[in-house]
A and B are shown apart, each in its own frame.
Chain A
Amino acid sequence: MLRLLARFLKLLGSETAPGQIALGVALALVAGLTPLASVHNLIVLFLLLVLRANLSAFLVAWAVFSGVAYLADPAFHALGLWLLTLPALEGFWTFLYNVPGMRLTRFHHTIVLGSLVVSFGLVVPVHLLSVAAVRRYREQVLARVRALKVTQMLKANRLYRALRAAWDIGEGT
């Protein structure tokens, strides 16, 4: 996990496009907030692999959002239950319920529906916020960190260079 975090920090400082990192985070939002063993996560996996989304960003964000989901499940349940028992939507849900294969998506499960609705609602804002955040990090935080004397001293250290070399070799394998 630490290694993953290190890779993520390195990624933030790399030349990788902020949009790719943000896409990874946005897809992780859906995969992390909703129960993993759901059919819609196959689509998330497909998008993750086919689109140029950043995998490291996805993995780190997925871990974060899974933790959030653990805490937010009661709220997802309440939202899902409200939606599934809303009289105005009963006909729609009944129609879906009777479509062969639709029950395999477990849309009629309160947490699945509640978390899916929340994640779909947040996916675009989170993507935009992530792009902005990466840019802001690179422009303000990263430049200051690099300018710090401690950083320059560390970079000049032999041990640091040896560790960095070893790290890069490890990354390559």
Chain B
Amino acid sequence: MAGLGACLRPKGIVLFVVALVLIVGGWVLFADAVARRAVERIGTSIVGAKVDLGAADVGLFPPSLVLSGLAVTDPDAPMTNAVEVARSEFSIEGRPLLTGRFVVSAARLDGVRLGTARTRSGALTKAPKAKKESGGFSISLPELSLPDANAILLQNPLTSVADAEALARDLKTARAAWEERLQGLPDKAAVDAYRSRVRDLQERRPKGVQEILATAKDAERLRKDIDGDLKKIRDARSDLKRDVAAYRKRAKEVAAAPAAEARRLADRYAGEGLGGVGAFFLKPEVEGIVRQGLVWYRRIEPVVAKAAHRTGAATVSRPPRSKGAVVRFPERNPLPSFLVRDAAVDVAAEGGTVSGEVKNVTTAPAVLGAPLTYAFHGSGLKRAADVRVEGAFDRVDPDHPMDRIHLAFAGARVTDRTLAKGGPIPVTLADSMADLTVDGSRAAGAIRGALDLGLTGAHFEVGQVEGAVARAVADALKGVHAATVHADVSGPPDAPEVRVRSDLDRVIGDAVKAAAGARLQALGDELKEKIAARAAGPVADAEAAVGHLDDKVGGALAGQSDALDQLLAEAKKDLGKDVGKGLKLPF
């Protein structure tokens, strides 16, 4: 015991306990401050602008974290908070902490507000690397003049000319086919042969029953032969009649086509050049919605995209701010290093709250095997009767991200929205109710989406305008109280293409056409004249070919038919008499 006493320092145990108490006590004392600094530091590095936190409260039994006064600066507007959270509570699972995992079983975010003002700029001293801005949105004034007729003809292949040429080609083929068919039909030589056989029968004087029967048989055969050939010719005449009628119909259509095509082209160019004004007015609004959505998407996407591959083999990753490396080994029950299983979120909005939940927030969805999903709903808000947002960030397979969103605003009130400031037609949407639905997805590196906006009870205000066309548009807009807009979005997320169409196009287009009536008529006439001139040759060829088919082939068939008919009549007359003993030949 004496030896042991010489080696041990009993007071040391007390000192060790005191040291432990100091370490634990220090941690308890400073944990809140450390957590606050950590949230601010990590948040700032992720967002690229200041993230401020009023206070953090770290609980030990059970593990929990409460954050108060979280303010995340909008990196694009440093005097605005992109999001502000009054209070957030996180219930942390204790067991994963032992394996270095931060797993939140349930979270509650209250008093979430978007776009609040900051008293101090949240920009970082060292500006983050500027992101390449989207170049996908471009607005140009619609062309308020009709194009030149020659330019229209140059840009458009003329279908009427092509149709006439096609008809002429078809007729040429048909003519060759009919001439070949005529070769196979009985001609003059065949008629002469029949005539010879008739004469032969006439000259016979059968004696006895045997000869009478043989003559009768020959007469019967002759009659059948003549009938057969006659039928062939009659069938051919019937087919030709049908063909000629069809070709005449086509020739008639082809002759009328240039006028119709000229009218169609004039209308189309009037519609494109002048009537596209409707979409022009609403396109910036639609693009604004798409752009805002993409700004949020690009802000959130990099955070959720940090999906780590976890395979069965050990992996080495270099930790930040430290030398050496961390080697990771396969886990029996793999869990992401950060995971919020379920977060209930209340977003404060004017006149109410939009409530929802976000599930599976993690930087390693591949490990979790489930995508991040969200669903929010709010009703009776000041700006909208009903709001619904749901979607997912699916990075379970990091190489094939599949994200989706469905957003629906119903009964949203829109007031004093400037649609076109200045320019030829300054327009303001003074008041309207709006319904908006957006369906978007991202797969294979491209986004695809559809947006439908419906305006009801709309009241457009138009500023000072000059010129007949602008006045027509202004008057048309003043009379519009409902409109729909559809937009298709596609392409890469940083530069998508937005195609917008609206039924305002038709309303305004009609008004503009009426205002530009005389010019439109002149364009139509000029187009008609030019197209008719180009189509004249092929049309004339087609008409001549139809005439040839009818006259030449039809005439030949008629001649043969008449000859056979005449032969048959003569044969009946000459051979239908008594050949003896009261017997008659079968004619």
Contact = CB atoms under 8 A, between A and B. Distances in A.
Do A and B bind?
yes
Interface of A: 42, 45-46, 48-52, 73-74, 76-77, 80-81, 84-85, 90, 93-94, 97-98, 100-101, 103-104, 108-112, 114
A109 B102 CA distance: 19
Contact of B327 (A46, A52, A84, A104): A84
B323 A52 contact: no
B8 A110 contact: no
Contacts of B19: 45, 49
B8 A52 contact: yes
Contacts of B330: 94, 97
Interface of A, secondary structure class, is helix
12 contacts: A45-B16, A50-B9, A50-B12, A50-B13, A50-B16, A51-B9, A84-B314, A94-B329, A97-B328, A100-B98, A109-B326, A110-B327
A84 B325 CA distance: 10
B316 to A, nearest CB: 7
B100 interface: yes
Nearest to A97: B329
Contacts of A85: 314, 316, 327
Contacts of B329: 90, 93-94, 97-98, 108
A119 B98 CA distance: 26
Contacts of B323: 73-74, 77, 111
Interface string B1-20: 00000111100110110011
Place the interface of chain B in its size category.
Answer: 20 to 34
Given A94-B314, A110-B324, 11 more contacts: A42-B20, A49-B15, A50-B13, A51-B9, A52-B9, A74-B323, A80-B324, A90-B329, A103-B99, A108-B327, A110-B326
B321 interface: no
B129 interface: no
Contacts of A93: 314, 327, 329
Nearest to B19: A45
A98 B101 CA distance: 12
Interface in B309-354: 314, 316, 319, 323-332
A49 B331 contact: no
Most B CB within 10 A of own CB, among A50, A74, A84, A110: A50
A97 B325 contact: no
Contacts of A51: 7-9, 12
A48 B329 CA distance: 34
